[in-house]
Amino acid sequence: MFDVAVFSTLFVTLFVIMDPPGITPIFLALTSGRPAKVQRRMAWQAASVAFCVIALFGLFGRQILGRLHISTPALMIAGGLLLLLVALDLLTGKSEEPTQTKDVNVALVPLGMPLLAGPGAIVSVILAVQHAHGVAAQISVWAAIAAIHVVLYVVMRFSLVIIRVIKDGGVVLVTRLAGMMLSALAVQQIINGVLQVIQAAA
């Protein structure tokens, strides 16, 4: 009742796309200055939101995109633009002024979506669910989805230890580096979406 090949393929694919090690500096940058209890809650919220979004698109993804007439390239470009706005905030330091309402917003956007549950992960899950024939394959697909989100939560949860080690100066440095990496990721995602549009039109 379990297909190891299906599980490992999807898990590795999502691991590469969602990049748990790479999310650490961005999570640290977005949650710096908040109490440890709030940071732990945000790690749980971000992983939970990402899982809910991925699960929703896994179940109804093709119907949702089809009903709204949204193409995959459009989803990629929109996600890239949103990430670029977040990256600019990190680079300029605006995100270092947290508020009570921002605690929840950061966990939802951009951490939960589109940083974790981005277009790449959504499309991969939609295709995996579509191609999973039989009960064993379906169980394996959903087990891989659950497993990667457990990994994401654990990585974000224990990345809080790093904050206590690097102190405020290190957090500022990490914030700037995270902004640079996130801006590059956003631009690449936009480029990929534009290239797909061009290829479809050719």
pLDDT of residue 180: 84
Average pLDDT on 29-57 reads 90
Average pLDDT on 120-132 reads 87
pLDDT classification of 160: cutoffs 50, 70, 90 = confident
Average pLDDT on 80-108 reads 66
Cα–Cα distance measured from residue 143 to residue 7, given in angstroms and rounded to the nearest whole number: 7
| Residue 41 clears pLDDT 60, i.e. is over it | yes
The mean of the pLDDT values for the chain is: 84
pLDDT classification of 105: cutoffs 50, 70, 90 = low
Q: Which of 30-39, 111-120, 138-147, 170-179 has the lowest mean pLDDT?
A: 170-179
Separation in Å, CA 114 to CA 51, 89, 109, 142, 196: 12, 16, 7, 20, 19
Average pLDDT on 112-136 reads 87
Radius of gyration of the chain (CA): 17
pLDDT of residue 97: 44
pLDDT classification of 28: cutoffs 50, 70, 90 = confident
